[in-house]
Amino acid sequence: MTPIIQAKALSKQYRVYQKQKGAFLRRERRIVQALDRVSFSINEGELVGYIGPNGAGKSTTVKLLTGILTPDGGTAHACGFVPWQDRKRYVRNIGVVFGQRTQLWWDVPVIDSFRLLKDIYAVEPPAFNRRVEELTEALELSALLPVPLRQLSLGQRMRAEIAASLLHSPRLLFLDEPTIGLDAVSKLALREFLRRENETHRTTILLTTHDMEDIRALCRRVMVLGRGSLLYDGTLTRLLSRYDTMRAARVRYAQKPDTSRFPPEYQIEHEGDSLRVTCPLDQADADAFVRTLQQAGHIEELTVSQEEIDRLIARMYEEMRL
């Protein structure tokens, strides 16, 4: 099977300037290695999570693979093109959504932006009408089409952005933090849509996110990037079984809890008026964990969860001595 994306030894550096301590005008130039010989391939129809902490190089990778940036070393092919060399033909095959940026026009109705994109991508009217109808139904956009983008909520805007990126039925969709700032209901709806789009149209999706629930809900395969290097490429199940070794809870008590009741292997962090309590998975099952928390006092609010992605990455760093 020929990969739809094949990256080989991709490298990218940025020059940043920092003001020297005690100097008014003098600045010091520093080289930041955003990507360091990163290689991977993605087959058509895959939905892959691309995760890592801030500054790991995730957005740089997406910008290279969409042709926005040119690498300092290495190469990549996507949909049969080198993204930064033949961008005009290449972009007809891809859709891109950056969580903090918009491709729609701020002051015009959403449907007018869609029509402009139809002309930009040279989509035939019958195909465009079918696709708008399909996306409008799937993303519940019918009431939003005549509304200017500036009047929509963040969740509504993101649904419109997702639809805009798929109007020309791309083979490959890049999503960079698509659920950032969305409420729980909007996140669930967007995840369900992306799952159906991948399964129904075989759209290949590369998803970068800090939200581990996005990854758990959508991705069988994950790639973990850290400090510009690819640390892991494999199944989510294997990643979690190796590094997700802690059970975690965020708990708010009615009064100051008696934490002396916690076993010594329980770790406690104060987060505002709540506590974050963790224990090794092999020390207690979920029911025993909650019972122990209840012994410390009357609980007003309790959320039991798995580890956050940044903590998993930190554990990987520790193991790899990065």
Domains and CATH numbers, the chain: 5-241 (3.40.50.300), 245-305 (3.30.70.250)
Q: What is the DSSP letter of 107?
A: T
pLDDT at 150: 93
pLDDT at 16: 78
Query: Residue 147 phi/psi, 5° resolution?
Result: -100, 135
pLDDT at 168: 95
pLDDT at 294: 94
* Residue ranges in the chain modelled with pLDDT below 50: none
pLDDT at 306: 64
Question: Which helix (DSSP H) or strand (DSSP E) does residue 318 occupy?
Answer: helix 309-320
* CA-closest candidate to residue 191, choices 227, 142, 148, 155: 155
pLDDT at 109: 96
**Assigned token pair, 167:** 């109007």
